[in-house]
Structure 1
Amino acid sequence: MRYIKYLFIAMVLVFSYSSKSYHTHKQIPPYYQLEVQGLNKRITNELSDFSSSPYIEKQIARFNRQWGLKGASLAVVKDDKLVYAQGFGFANDQNDVVQPGNLFRVASVSKLLTGVAIMKLVEEKKLNLDQQVFGPTGIIKDTIFNKVRDKRLYKITVRQLLAHSGGWSQRYGDPAFNSLTIAEKVGDQAPATIHSYYKYIATRRLSFYPGTQTSYSNMGYMFLGEIIATVSGKTYESFIQDNILVPNGIVDMHIANSYAANRFENEVSYYESEGSALVPEYNGSGKMVAKSNGGNPIELLGAAGGWTCSAIELARLVTYIDGEPGVKDILKASSIAEMTDNTYAKGPLGWKTSFNNGTWIRTGSMAGTSAMIKRMDDGLTWVFISNTSSWKGSLLANDINSLMYKICYKVKEWPDQDLFNYYPIHTLPLAKAN
């Protein structure tokens, strides 16, 4: 009877760990119980060894040498199953081999999480995509917006921020990555805060009428983070973790830290291309530092580029928003269609690029980070993340895409497994019944 009791407890733990009650698990043999823990701690490199592994390893090793990448992580999903998860190269200066569960900053891939969070609030009828954002009648009612230089600021909607059509351009640089300049312009002491950016946009003219053009805007996504916090009553990070990630078994995604000393336990170190210049520390200290270690205000970037996660948990998130039948999505089909609508100046939302054939792409690049997600129209999705940035910047995504095209063309059969549902089994003799 005692064995039955322990077996029941183990099964309850497994099924309560994930919101997907239809997950299948390996049968528990007598005198064993399952270890229940996060995906990043369950999956290791050797689980993805199969006949094409040498080919994949050779191609990625060559790619890493070509572009000077210290380490990388690849996750491949087929029909909503994690069929392959592998780390390549090194995670840090101690030459620890990258494992699938290592955390990486993912830069603008963060915008996908922000888009999902906005659509979740829309579905809960707490938000409308066509709501105005700034001013006395907007969502963000900060008194800074009671008086603005350009009245068109009051016309900006949530959808326009998501679609990069809010009215700002990068003609004079990207404000999100020039926080010291922003603080100086508005008379604030560094480090800049989101209120520094409120002051900045309130005293500047827009480059174009909202909704008529597109111009990539990290700053617009920073404001989306504030919208999520305002409407939900939680911090941006907490809302996404509590309402989107953790209920679906994604337990190890976080807003990253700006400094190497504050990395998470399983987070990689970051490397920039050879010859990268030092920059002034974002907090105004006057010190010259690496962009990837105190040069960029990662926490402030937040909704625009602040998340850190593993390739496998990021892949798991995509299975919940991809419209595929294998896993029940957390968004309605209409919301997924809205996010992937590629009408000019209207979408896509969160995704960077979407094609009518069902291919969706999200890329991310900053000092020390190169990342890409591609959901294809044949049931295959892949996530590639590196802890190294290239001199090519965001254009490295084209080379990552070429690499993965070559791999996916060559590999006709992926392992018949679903590592999302893999749980290590440890022997644990149970006490004999009395």
Structure 2
Amino acid sequence: MGAGLSRREFGRAAGLAGVGASGAVLLSGCSEDSVQARTAAAGKTWKVSGERGAGLGGFDSTMKSFMQARNISCGQLAVARKGKLLLARGYTWTSSSTLKTQPTSLFRIASLSKAVTGAAILRLAQEGKLNLGAPVTRLLSLTPPSGQTMDSRLKNVTVWRLLQHTGGWDRDLGFDPMYRRDSAVASALGVRIPVTKANIMKYMNGRRLDHTPGSDYAYSNYGYMLLGRIIEQVGGTGYRTYVQNKILGPRGITRMKLGRSLKMNAASGEVPYASQYNVSTVMDASGATVPAPYGGFNLENMDSHGGWLSTAADMVRFAGLFDAANPVLGSTSIGRAFGRPETGVDSSGAWYGCGWHVRNVTGGRNTWHTGGLPGTYTILVRRHDGLTWAALFNQRDDASGKNYGDIDKLLHIAANGVTSWPTTDLYGKYF
């Protein structure tokens, strides 16, 4: 699967985020001591870097138990409360003497990238450069492959519908062009691998939509790839440049950058990624078998839906854009980010806004997103009580078969266990 949640997974995750926030979750997790006993023979050691305020040891314990139970080598956590950074940690579980995750180490954040893209779209609308009700066909030059015609319903795919996953593309029906479908695109167009974003768009312009636009919620990585191209067209510059100049830069975020697929192109300070799976590469036509995180998907094509590298501290700093009106996003833009879509509110009362899952809970509103790629699992949570946290891992699968989504409720429990929040602010140290 590609970055983010499928429609089937969304309902389960929405329930977890809501229940986790209430603290009413019963767990049967393994003890830290039993985990250490099982893994001691491997000669691994637990390393922690960074800082935290007093009384937040429960977060460290949660990350330790979670990572050791799944043999995750690199993890990172940042916790903020009411505009102050209270914890910024790097965690390492390894037998390597040289590998040590820092609070400033970079991770692929997968679908947390969607919140970044959503913020950029909202900023363009705030600048008066973009009408969110505009059809994508008016904003982008869309042409189908030779001899094919476009679905007439494409004219009803608006920017709003791309943002809220109601554009009509449904990866649950078996086709996500952004993830391991490169050979199908290349074959249909008669082009060579690796395919480009323009190749993918041309190919998709010849396919029928899976749903009538606006009729159904269906998570679409492709829809967010199109949003990146709209940012380029309307913003008059590259996607990365617009995001850095208009969204990240004003928040003092300078570490974030777009990732690369191959290990030899890793960024300075980027963690290594792990998966138990090897797959055929999509980066060339060799058919070579490669580790899934390094050539099993084309990260360069995923820029606006899953391509960013970040730290956990950067992500909670970014999330602060949505706490109150500010020079980057005003109150109207923030309201739009979490607005109810025309369809897609699930049975638990959760919906998808503009790069965020949203749910009203007792006391306010929770917003969150998860991300996943081979070699990556991430979560970003904004809680109704002023808490924000981000957890990043360099793995999403292992032989244990344990659920990586469990980190959601575990971190809610850790937060609920804090009896007195510190007043320290670490933002000055890491920004």
Q: Return 5+ residue gaps in structure 2 as ranges.
A: 1-47, 345-351
Does the 8 Å CA contact 2:92/2:100 hold for their aligned counterparts?
yes
Give the drift of 1:181: 1.9
Mapped contact 1:48–1:415 kept (Cα < 8 A): no
User: What per-residue deviation string (whole Å, max 9, x for no partner) do you get for residues 357-403 of structure 1?
Assistant: 310011101111110011001111111111111269xx946301121
- In structure 1, give the amino acid aligned to 2:335: A
Tell me which residue corresponds to 1:161. 162
Q: Which residue of 2 aligns with 1:205?
A: 208
What is the percent sequence identity of the aligned residues? 31
**Hey, what does 2:356 align to over in structure 1?**
351
CA shift, 1:304, in A, is: 0.7
Alignment map for 1:409-420 (pairs within 5 Å):
409-420=416-427
Partner of 1:318 in structure 2? 319
Give the number of aligned pairs.
Answer: 372
Q: Structure 1: any 5+ residue segments left out of the alignment?
A: 1-43, 425-434
* 1:27-426 matches, cutoff 5 A: 45-48=49-52, 50-53=54-57, 55-90=58-93, 95-134=98-137, 138-144=138-144, 148-170=149-171, 171-177=173-179, 178-272=181-275, 274=276, 276-323=277-324, 328=326, 330-345=328-343, 347-355=352-360, 357-390=364-397, 396=403, 398-422=405-429
Quick one: distance in 2 between partners of 1:60 and 1:366? 20
SS of residue paired to 1:294: coil
Given that residues 84 and 426 in structure 2 are in contact (C-alpha distance below 8 angstroms), is that contact kept between their aligned partners in structure 1? Answer: yes
Q: Which string of whole-angstrom CA distances, capped at 9 and with x for unpartnered residues, describes residues 8-59 of structure 1?
A: xxxxxxxxxxxxxxxxxxxxxxxxxxxxxxxxxxxx9343263443x43332
The alignment's TM-score, normalised by the length of structure 2, stands at 0.80
Distance 1:239 1:321 in 2: 19
Provide closer, same or farther for how the CA distance between residues 97 and 127 of structure 1 changes in structure 2, counting only shifts above 3 A. Answer: same
* Aligned CA distance change for structure 1 residues 46 and 194 (closer, same or farther; 3 Å): closer
In structure 2, distance between residues paired with 1:372 and 1:300: 22
Larger radius of gyration: 1
Instruction: Pick which of 140-149 and 351-360 moved more.
Output: 140-149
Deviation string for 1:335-363 (max 9, x for gaps)? 11111123353741111344363100111
Cα distance per residue 1:42-87 (max 9 Å; x no partner): xx9343263443x433322111122221111110000011011111
The 10-residue stretch of structure 1 (412-421 or 156-165) with the greater mean CA deviation from structure 2:
412-421
CA contact (8 A) 1:362 1:374 kept: yes
CA distance in 1, matches of 2:227, 2:430: 37
Residues 269-322 of structure 1, C-alpha deviations (whole Å, 9 max, x = no match): 1111x3x23233333232111221111110111101000011101111111222
Q: Which amino acid aligns with 1:285?
A: S
Q: Distance in 2 between matches of 1:401 and 1:176?
A: 26
Q: Say if 2:377 and 2:394, in contact at 8 Å, map to a contact too.
A: yes
Asked if the contact 1:281–1:289 (Cα under 8 Å) also holds between the matched residues in 2, the reply is no
Residue 166 of structure 1: how far off its partner (Å): 0.9
